[in-house]
Amino acid sequence: MSHPMPPAPPFTVDTAIAKVRRAEDGWNSRDPERVSLAYTADCHWRNRSEFIRGRTEIVGFLTRKWQAELDYRLIKELWAFGEDRIAVRFAYEWHNAAGDWFRSYGNENWEFALDGRMRRRLASINDLAILGSDRRFFWDAAGPRPADHPGLSDLDL
């Protein structure tokens, strides 16, 4: 068995918030291999209309995603939690190769194994074209959101 990925279930409000922030930080690294380790080897995903199974497919998906979604920056926020489940809302900003900017909004439902790795991720996402001047997510690329950067509620998103 691999090393645990704390926090692990059962979740409290504090550990659920910490889990969401760890997931946000991981995705903001834009490192598919690193991100894939937060999931069980046989994890099941639904991302928009794409169905993904296991870490190998997760790495392939994230590699394609971050090749297309440039200067990606993500903010996640806890919506609800239960013993081994967490629901989040999120938004991320990115641009395509043509320089067109987007803000993508969505919700995710997560289910966790006892070791704290995610075994199921169900994501619904919508994209909104924005002007570069309408961006709200500003921090160094491929790094975590600074502690003093506003979250989704603070940004009224």
Residues 113-148: tens digit of each pLDDT: 999 999 999 999 999 999 999 999 999 887 899 999
* Predicted confidence (pLDDT) per residue in 39-66, tens digit: 999 999 999 999 999 999 999 999 999 9
Q: What are the structural domains of the chain?
A: 13-134 (3.10.450.50)
One DSSP character per residue, 36-82 reads HTTEEEEEEEEETTEEEEHHHHHHHHHHHHHHHSEEEEEEEEEEEE-
